[in-house]
Structures are given as C-alpha cells and as structure tokens.
Amino acid sequence: TQLLEQSPQFLSIQEGENLTVYCNSSSVFSSLQWYRQEPGEGPVLLVTVVTGGEVKKLKRLTFQFGDARKDSSLHITAAQTGDTGLYLCAGVRKGAQKLVFGQGTRLTINP
Amino acid sequence: ETGVTQSPTHLIKTRGQQVTLRCSSQSGHNTVSWYQQALGQGPQFIFQYYREEENGRGNFPPRFSGLQFPNYSSELNVNALELDDSALYLCASSFVGIDEQFFGPGTRLTVL
C-alpha cells in the first residue's frame, strides 16, 4: 500500500500549457517536500511546505499544502521543455525519521 | 559548501556476493539516510544514522546494514545479494530534527 499517492503517474503535454500534479494521503504529515529527479541522478529538493494551507511559489511552479496537511499539489504555468523530469512528493510524519515518497509523476514537455 | 557525494557511481555484482556503498554528507549535516529506488518507483527508506547509531529502519532484512563514522560519512553494506537488490541506492544528509534531506547522485547497483 502506497502511503502517498501521486497522480497522474505519466503526463505528456505541449510547451506553453499548464498542468497540476497531485499528491494525496490519508495520513497527516508534519511537512511535505517536492523533488525533481533527472535520469541517473538523485532527487533535487524544490520546496518544503510545513503549514496547512501554505502556498509557495518558485518562478512558474506553485506548491500548495492542504489545510489538513494530508495532501499537496504542484502547478506549473506555461510549461517549458526544461521542466521535463520525474517529480516526487515526499512527506515526513510527526516523530518519524524517514521520508515517505510517492511513486512519482513522469512529466514530458513536448516542443 | 560541499554537497552529498556517493561512490561508486555504478557497480555490477553477482548473486550471493557482498557490496559496500559509500556516502559523504553535506558539510554541516550530522544525519545520513539511505534509500533504495527501484526502476520506475519512488525511493524506499532503508535506515537512518545519527551519532554513529541506527536511528530508524524501514522494511528491509538484516542483510542490509550500515555504519556512520565520526565525520558523519556513512556506508551501506548488503550481504548475500539477490537479483531484486538491483536498484539505485541514494544517500541523503540532513540536520537532526530538520525534515529537509539533500540527496547524492546515487549508486546504480546491478545484480546478475
């Protein structure tokens, strides 16, 4: 059973379009991180959200943490080919030491 | 500031052999976590080390073991390798009590 469910698992869109990736759970997390991973490399941290309802922006990327701290979303505006990659959400439950990852969303932006 | 480094980059072993993977943590970090990432999956937590002791373990058998050294670097040892152990092994460093973890480039292990 996957503790964090990401959707969609695969997404292929044209450059310039907008998209949203979802990360859902029935568990409460003390924080949630979004990572981006290129083939053969380690995940690179994009953002951490810790407060329910929190919204963070990183250029064309907008991250939101759900009010109940059980879910999160990543919205990309005007996608570019350089946004192509594997996007992973990962949460930390209170008192735990580990990151729990979703299965990832493989994003392809076509020129 | 030096990031997380891992060695080797790639490794090929046969079933039954033993392997040691190495990780140097980011400067200023005192906690190291190891993750296994199978092809097409998200990383799975193996264990974490803090103050040279195991500080949490995921659902992995005892043949997965680790060490942390006084300089906070770490090793992951896997005995009696199985075909399913083929994966990308990721090391992440952090500061104790802080949720954010920073990953190294990984070691790609292939078991034949």
Interacting residues of B71 by C-beta distance below 8 A, sequence separation 6+: none
Structure tokens at A19: 């998209």
What is the least distance, in Å, from the CA of A97 to any CA of chain B?
6
SS3 A81: helix
Q: How far is CA A30 from CA B44, B49, B93, in A?
A: 19, 21, 19
A29-62 pLDDT, tens digit per residue, is: 999 999 999 988 999 999 999 999 999 999 999 9
Of A43 and B1, more confident = A43
Interacting residues of A39 by C-beta distance below 8 A, sequence separation 6+: none
Sheet order of strands, B19-24 included: B5-7, B19-24, B74-78, B64-68
What is the percentage of chain B residues whose pLDDT exceeds 90? Answer: 87
What is the least distance, in Å, from the CA of B93 to any CA of chain A?
11
Q: Is residue A2 over pLDDT 80? A: no
Q: Do B55 and A101 touch (CB under 8 A)?
A: no
* Overall average pLDDT of the A4-20 stretch: 97
Comparing CB atoms, the residue among B6, B56, B90 nearest residue A98 is B56
Lowest pLDDT segment from A68-72, A97-101, A105-109, B108-112: A97-101
B45-82 pLDDT, tens digit per residue, is: 999 999 999 999 999 999 999 999 999 999 999 999 99
